[in-house]
Amino acid sequence: MNLADKLALLAASARYDASCASSGSARVSRKGGIGAAVPAGVCHSWTGDGRCVSLLKVLYSNACRNDCAYCVNRASADVPRASFTTEELVSLTVDFYRRNYVEGLFLSSGVFSDPDIVMERLIEVARVLREREGFAGYIHLKGIPGCGDRLLRRAGLYADRLSVNIELPTSQSLALLAPQKSGAEILGSMRFLGEAESESREDAARLRSAPRFAPAGQSTQLIVGASPEDDRCIVKLAASLYRRYGLRRVYYSAFMPVVPDPRLPNPDAPPLLREHRLYQADWLLRFYGYNAEELLDGAEPSFSVDIDPKCSWALRHPSFFPVEIGSADYDRLLRVPGIGPAGARRILSSRRGGRLRPEELPKMGIALKRAKWFLSVDGRPLCEPPQPGTLRSYLSDNPAAAGRGTAAPGSRAATGQLEFELP
């Protein structure tokens, strides 16, 4: 297979991995070397599906001995197989980087051999880039499930970010759909990465020149809609991954049927709205101070199609509102639909300049359309609530779907003992 065909095949195999971030790391170019990483990351293009292209995202090899039901490269799939060589990947990365096509490399692989051997190959590509080419761009390496901690530690010396995919929300679904993968092994690797990263941060605080372990931390991905778990199960899992292992990002990937399998649903289209709602909830966990139990409960186990999770929380907590524009603190302001971190900060800094008038709010990046129902000025509500029960329709970002229930149809509550136990 020629290089161009191989590149197309191994890029198409990697496109189901949602992560393409190049953020969270700062490296400076060395003399004779090439590349730098900036903390905010850089997007270099956007594909026809509207997703950012930041890294050369490919598999090292699409040969795989695992037979995961949802995967285009499952062992039993009838697809052409190919592998890169280290030199091919190194020169593609450097060539693309010099032309400013990418920020760096995202390298994953099918499990074509013993996990340790596969992981060694990925590390070798990163090592040659860093040591021989002096490459200081961004490198994201996938941790091959089942590889040893010793290899993850080495990978972290070259990579900016490492990720081990949890793939599915419960150990039961993993056992059903990815029988060769072990939830305990995956979570064990994530725990190891979390500990190695926090150790490294402590070392760096003591000694600036201490080698940094994966400075952009770890992320993971799970597939939404291939298995029956409800959103509550997924959000609870994400929240504990953030809390326990210090993950920087959890990516949610709407399930797309690529190989027919009786164990899998066969939707007409990937559940993109559900994926979107989970990302909205993820933002609320990371930047708005919500916890998983607040977002969904037994009465409402999955997100709605017609309103976002923040509006949904606000509707369920009428006694929290209205929030006083002139005196509420940052955390309270953040709970108002239509006010984000930037808007809340601007409200606080504008108070110093005197009394804040409501008509100024839209100019401060606040969506008054939603916020007006939840704010008060001098103790008086900014806007009288509409007829009981109609507020929901004013808050909808998807009014056509009103009354159509949840964005996760057919999902079921996962009972306690089936959920992952985090070591």
Partner 1 sequence: MRTDSCSWGRGPGALILRLRSALQGGAGGPSLSSDWGDGGLFAPNTGAASAGPDPDEAEIEEAIAQVRAFSEELYDLCLLSWMSSEGLEGLLLDAAREAGRSGPAILFDYSKERIRLLWRGCARVEREIHRLAGLARFDLRRDGIYSAPLEPDHSILPALAPHFLGRFGGLSFALVDCRRRLCILSLSEGLRFLEGDDALRLLPDAESSDAERLWRRYFAATENPQRRNPGLQRRFMPERYWKYLVELRI
Binding site for partner 1 (CB under 8 A): 3-4, 7-9, 11-12, 15-16, 28-36, 38, 40, 42-54, 56-57, 92, 95-96, 98-101, 134, 136-137, 254, 256, 269-270, 272, 346, 349-350, 352-354, 356-357, 360, 363-364
- In the complex, the smallest distance separating the C-beta of residue 42 from partner 1, rounded to whole angstroms, is 5
Contacts of 305 by beta carbon, 8 Å cutoff, 6+ apart: 273, 398, 401, 404, 405, 406, 407
Q: How far is the CB of 387 from partner 1 (least distance, A)?
A: 33
**Distance separating alpha carbons of residues 307 and 313, to the nearest angstrom:** 10
CB of 187 to partner 1, least distance (A): 28
Quick one: CA torsion of 358, 363, 366, 372, rounded to 10 degrees? 30
- In the block, which residue shows the tokens 């972290």? 156
Between 134 and 188, whose beta carbon lies closer to partner 1? Answer: 134
CB closer to partner 1 out of 146 and 338: 338
Alpha helices (H) along 372-414:
391-395
Instruction: Kindly tell me the burial class for residue 217, based on how many C-beta atoms sit within 10 Å of its own C-beta (0-12, 13-18, 19 or more).
Output: buried
Cis omega (within 30 of 0) for bond into 385: no
Rounded Cα distance between 279 and 371, Å, is: 21
C-beta of 315 vs 348, nearer to partner 1: 348
- Residue 226: burial class (beta carbons within 10 Å; 0-12, 13-18, 19+): buried
Residue that has been written with the tokens 């929240």 in this structure: 239
Minimum distance, C-beta of residue 332 to partner 1, in the bound complex (Å): 19
115 vs 343, which CB is nearer to partner 1? 343
Q: Minimal distance in Å, beta carbon 24 to partner 1?
A: 16
Instruction: Determine the Cα–Cα distance for residues 97 and 103; give it in Å rounded to an integer.
Output: 6
**How do 323-324 and 249-254 pair as beta strands?**
unpaired
Distance (Å, whole) CA 154 – CA 136: 17
Rounded CA separation 337/329 (Å): 15
Of 99 and 206, which CB lies nearer to partner 1 in the complex structure?
A: 99
Name the residue nearer to partner 1 (CB basis): 3 or 184. Answer: 3
Q: Tell me how far apart the alpha carbons of residues 326 and 414 are, in angstroms, rounded to a whole number.
A: 43
CB 295 → partner 1: shortest distance, Å? 25
Closest CB 26 distance from partner 1, rounded Å: 11
Q: How near is the Cβ of 420 to partner 1 at its closest, in Å?
A: 27
Beta carbon nearer to partner 1, 209 or 349: 349
137 versus 183: smaller Cβ distance to partner 1: 137
Closer to partner 1 by CB, 40 or 207: give it.
Answer: 40
Least gap, CB of 16 to partner 1 (angstroms): 7
Residue 59, token pair as written in the block: 């598999």
Distances (CA, A) of 420 to 175, 185, 196: 12, 11, 22
CA distance 324 to 322: 6
